[in-house]
Amino acid sequence: MQPIFVPAPPKSSFNKNRAPSDLLIGQLRHFQHVEHKSDIAIDAATALDIHTEAGAARYILALTRAIRQQSAKPVGIAVVPPRKPLDTIGSPGVGDGLTIAAVGDGPGAASERPVTKKLTHGKKRVKKNKRKKS
Amino acid sequence: MALDRSLPGIQALQHIVVLMMENRSFDHMLGGLKATHDYIDGLTGDETNLDTTGAQIKVQPLAEYQSQLDPDPNHHFAAVNLQIFGDPQNGPPLPATMSGFVKSYFNQQQNTKHSADILYYFSPDKLPVLSTLATEFAVFNRWFASIPGPTICNRAFAHYGTSFGQVSMDVFYEGKKYKAIYDRLLAAGHTCKLYYYDEASSTMEVVNLLQNEPDVFGTFEDFETACDKNVLPAYCFIEPNYTDHDSPDGDGELIANDQHPDHDVRAGEQFIAMVYNKIRQNPKLWANTALLIVYDEHGGIYDHVPPPACLPDGFVAQPADTGTLDAFHFDRLGVRVPAILVSPWVAKGSCINDVFEHACIPATVTDYFIGEYPDRSPREIAANTFLGQLSLETQRTEDDCPSFAIEGGS
């Protein structure tokens, strides 16, 4: 049987400036929850710059590495109160502006000052990029 | 039905690999196969929804790889109620007519023309990987999302056999009543890994697993290395790349391959092919590995099969959580999703008509590697298992199994 060709997406498909989807916003909320409940300190600029997929990925990268480095000392987690569903029929856009609380006082410093940032859905200009692989 | 462990494919089986993709319905991805493979419960082309003007809109093979489902179709609980029952506030005893998808999508932009795109499906030639695997191995005609809701609660069923009463993306809690499949396997002396794509994409299991069981995790590169070195864990769960982002090692940029709208579906096709090829090209793995490719939920996209009732989960989500007038007792499934079982011990053109959902994943893995394990959710205990499909007396030959040539990749 001959190998079946699987085409790559065009370079124009890549858009790291795309606004985060609900899925990504949910993932960010989980990371922020862990950040607040732990002693992990994330650079403030990284914690605030989460309005694009690339920015969210930088924050997630920092948290993931920090969590794995702290693997020897698990931290307790509290229940997060239920929030209003992001999407409500008849009211599109309800919850689109998700309040994200992030913490950071610079690299390596313990966090004391909460920084609140609001994530909103929105169109970003597509920027063409080269890709490494899928 | 108990697994026949005398089957040669079962006796050879050492690894179960699950790849869970994002947010596409069965009909959207595989529905077009019915025209050439009538055993696949796809689309006749006559399925319709009414739009908000009252016009009947037909399904059409016009799905595009990207830019068509923007904004991301709503798939939270109330929206899925509308899609299934035609009413966002009420579910059963209303009949599941699957008639509200166009109206649901209309609610997001008030654009009648665009709302019809939610009925579009891919012609099989546009999805060479998924179409080939579905027809060359075993396709599930009745694999449903575990909950008529979004990603994280559905993915929880794949890890725990329950979402602990959650129907949304909210953070779960400590002190879980049931152990994750990874905890069970490790306690029983088995190996397992949850592979996320890379540290910048990471996992959707942030709170419950990544923080508390970091040793369970690896990257996709680790998966590839484990395949190459023949040290693949007994159970592997793979998450795709959820974002377009710069490579953490500074070497270029990485495109999202989860197929979540509005990411390019072709990148996900390539990713599925990469996972398949990695196993397929290693003869020491191919004969003893079962690969399940499945999607977490339908993403708000049309499917024609009404989700069935199921055993209540023992939890209740209140109306404040569902966004509807009713509490939810986890007694019915979500919308149907694509699912394919791959192994050289699976007969070509197999079709599975029993009902499956994501709790079937820990149910199957527990049954195969551990055996009796009573401390599981009622849903998982009642769930079907899928390894019985590895039923051939002799392994399929190299020439009889497809392989993929991935443009620009391995």
- Report ipTM for this prediction: 0.94
pLDDT range class, residue B173, cuts 50, 70, 90: low
pLDDT at B107 over 80: yes
Residue listed under structure tokens 């199921």: B310
| Residues of chain B with C-beta less than 8 angstroms from the C-beta of A71 | 214-215
Which residue in chain B has the smallest CA separation from A82?
A: B170
The minimum CA-CA distance between A113 and chain B, rounded to whole Å, is 23
Residue range B247-263: mean pLDDT, rounded: 95
In whole numbers, what is the pLDDT of chain B averaged over residues?
A: 96
Nearest to A13 among B74, B242, B264 (CB): B264
* Interface subset of B 48-77, CB within 8 angstroms of A: 65-66, 71-72, 74, 76-77
The reply to whether residue B253 touches residue A132, judged by beta carbons under 8 angstroms, is yes
Residue B342 phi, psi dihedral angles, 5° rounding = -120, 130
pLDDT at B340 over 70: yes
Nearest to A132 among B89, B247, B404 (CB): B247
Check: CB of residue B43 under 8 Å from CB of residue B304.
yes
Least confident of A29-43, A58-72, B77-91, B168-182: B168-182
Where does B172-264 have alpha helices with state H?
181-187, 220-228
Nearest to B206 among A13, A34, A76 (CB): A34
Residue range B372-391: mean pLDDT, rounded: 96
What is the pairing mode between strands B253-254 and B245-246? Answer: antiparallel
* Integer angstrom CA distances of residue B215 from A121, B26, B183: 34, 34, 11
pLDDT at B359 over 50: yes
The reply to whether residue A89 touches residue B400, judged by beta carbons under 8 angstroms, is no
Cα separation, A56 vs A34, in Å, equals 15
pLDDT range class, residue B213, cuts 50, 70, 90: confident
* Integer angstrom CA distances of residue A41 from A34, A65, B304: 11, 12, 48
Check: CB of residue B394 under 8 Å from CB of residue B360.
no
Tokens of B284: 């020491």
Residue range A11-25: mean pLDDT, rounded: 96
pLDDT: is B168 or B344 the higher one? B344
Please tell me the predicted confidence (pLDDT) of residue B336.
98
Q: Best mutation site among B159, B244, B325, B401 for testing chain A: the one with the most A CBs within 10 Å? A: B244
Cα separation, B87 vs B92, in Å, equals 10
pLDDT at A110 over 50: no
Please tell me the predicted confidence (pLDDT) of residue B298.
98
Percent of chain B with pLDDT over 90: 93
Nearest to B266 among A9, A22, A76 (CB): A9
